[in-house]
Amino acid sequence: MRQVQVVLVAEADGTHRARVLDAGRDGPDLRVDDLPGWVAATEREHRPRWVLTTAELYPALLAAGVRVQRCHDMELTEAILLAFAGEPGRPRNPAAAYARLTTGPEPPDPGPPDGWLAERANQPSLFEPDRRPHIPGVRQVDVVAAVFADQLRRIDATAHPDRLRLLVAAESAGALAAAELTHTGLPWRADVHEKMLTDRLGPRPPSGGRPKVLEELAAEIAEALGSRSGGPVGAVNPDNPASVVRAFARAGVEIPSTRAWVLREIDHPAIAPLLRYKELSRIHVAHGWSWLETWVRDGRFRADYVVGGVVSGRWATRGGAGLQLPRLLRTAVRADPGWSLVVADAAQLEPRVLAALSGDRRLAEVSTSVDLYTSLASDAFAGDRGKAKIAMLSAMYGGTSGEAGPLLVLLRKRFPQAVSYVEEAASAGEQGRTVRSRLGRTSPPASEGRQEVMAAVDTDERRSRQAAREWGRFTRNFVVQASAADWALTVLAILRLRLPRPAELVFFQHDEVLVHCPTDLAPIVSQVIAEAAAEATTLVFGTTGVRFPLEAVVVDCYADAK
């Protein structure tokens, strides 16, 4: 039985309209005055697939206490289809897609609104001004319905429509999950975070100045370099790399940069305090008091997730470095009393993805171990796990320098299908062709400038080959990394629907998920996560002997998970 589909839009005049699509027939248009109430009732009765732009409507519905199970996200689907057709740079908003159908001018995609950082701290409104472009004289419900029908037609016309349909469904579920993750938030103990800052940096400085410990280290650096802490002559500013390089030069020490690995090679009394300063300054700038005030409220860290923000399908965040939480910061992620955090990440996901993509039976056998690199080392590298890891990463990322080259030769002899798969992807990139993930996400073409360099064999053969090899390394990894994103998104889509309430997803990062749940539900949640991984493996890769373990640990503090 065909699932009911409901087109839901915000019109240019601020009203909301819906059109129910049932058994291929368009129902009457409905003006929806009580949007949360109507959506909640329709969700209970029909469990439809909502056809909408998630970022436009779902945050306000969540704020009103309404969740939906499934959707078809218009903009994310359009982005996937444009990339598939080799046109990734064109606008993806429904008005632009409609304009392409009617040969009209394509309005550009709207960027984040001015003051979005301040706005995100407030509850979204159902009646805030619509920033998305509209076609003059055409109702938005007609625009979205026409584009939706065209998107389905374009998907059906591909060589593997079932795969692309799965990708669109997983990407759309990711859009719902991203809004839910922001709405729910990651449990965050501000007092623990503040104590960590005070213990390392000293009391919070007034007016945003340097903390006490950084001031003391800056003075120590200046004294060791024979510089004054103030004044332009001989001064050294540890926050300014050029200033530090000049100060060392005045002290008779030439350094090419202030990178940590460069500094560690230097024997000078200023090195130790400088390295310490750099470490603590990163904490202060990236995750200090200002970060805490901006991104944590009501005991929750609420990142602004960007679904498909990376071309491989991985997510990004708009501000807050939400996908870059160092171990030190994870100490502040604590479960609520009576609750636990269930943390699960996929072990060595990309090598397993390569095994499944290539159909290499020997590598599939290696993947049956939880620690794939240890198993690979026993199989082909005399038990040396380090060499096994270097060889596999070299195959996927195109490394050949140092010992990587000989190790890659051994890997190719033992697992020829797997190595050939990524080498063919690299060759496609070197020839200027695109490659696709398992479900159909498409790599972008090389930039015009790079294409010109790659084609300039007659004028500069060395530079041309170098540019081609660099792009080949990108496409080599794209087929693996994007397929890994396919799998991870599918896991996320399944988890959204299977987790027992009141358990809630609170974090998603590439190949890792965090669920916050009552402690007595943690064993059930762990089992649901393992089942979701197994189901996603079958959906994405079909019948495969490759094992994709997504093993969960139950902790009170995120930092204790690894």
- Residue 487 phi/psi, 5-degree rounding, is -65, -45
Residue type, 305: Y
Q: What is the 3-state secondary structure (H, E, C) of 325-372?
A: CCHHHHCCCECCCCEEEEEEEECCHHHHHHHHHHCCHHHHHHCCCCCH
Q: Which CATH code fits 349-481?
A: 1.10.150.20
Distance CA 375, CA 384 (A): 10
Q: What is the pLDDT of residue 28?
A: 84
Angle, CA of 106, 109 and 111, to the nearest 5°: 155
Ranges assigned E (strand) in 229-294: none
Q: What is the 3-state secondary structure (H, E, C) of 129-165?
A: CCCCCCCCCCCHHHHHHHHHHHHHHHHHCCCCHHHHH
Tokens of 488: 């991870």
Q: Which CATH code fits 303-347+486-561?
A: 3.30.70.370
**Cis status, amide bond into 502, omega within 30 of 0:** yes
Distance CA 373, CA 386 (A): 8
Distance CA 172, CA 10 (A): 18
Angle, CA of 308, 39 and 174, to the nearest 5°: 15
Q: Which of 147, 56, 51 is nearest to 95 (CA)?
A: 147
Q: What is the pLDDT along the chain (562 residues), one digit of tens a residue?
A: 567 999 999 998 889 999 998 755 677 899 999 999 999 999 999 999 999 999 999 999 999 999 999 999 999 999 999 999 999 999 999 999 999 999 889 999 987 755 445 445 555 555 454 567 999 999 999 999 999 999 999 999 999 999 999 999 999 999 999 999 999 999 999 999 999 999 999 999 988 789 999 999 999 999 999 864 444 435 899 999 999 999 999 989 999 999 999 999 999 999 999 999 999 999 999 999 999 999 999 999 999 999 999 999 999 998 777 888 889 999 999 999 999 999 999 999 999 999 999 999 999 999 999 999 999 999 999 999 999 999 999 999 988 788 889 999 999 999 999 999 999 999 999 999 999 999 999 999 988 888 888 887 667 788 888 888 999 999 999 999 999 999 999 999 999 999 999 999 999 998 999 999 999 999 999 999 999 999 999 999 999 999 999 999 999 999 999 7
Q: Classify residue 430 by burial, with Cβ atoms within 10 Å: 0-12, 13-18, 19+.
A: buried
Question: Any residues with CB less than 8 A from the CB of 73 and at least 6 apart, and which?
Answer: 52, 53, 54, 171, 172, 175
Q: What is the pLDDT of residue 116?
A: 45
Q: Which of 390, 359, 394 is nearest to 373 (CA)?
A: 390
Where are the chain's structural domains? Answer: 5-157, 191-292, 303-347+486-561, 349-481
Q: What is the pLDDT of residue 449?
A: 84
pTM above 0.75, yes or no: yes
Label the pairing between strands 339-346 and 25-32: unpaired
**In CATH, 5-157 is 1.10.3210:** no
* Residue pair 371/361 in contact by the 8 Å Cβ criterion: no
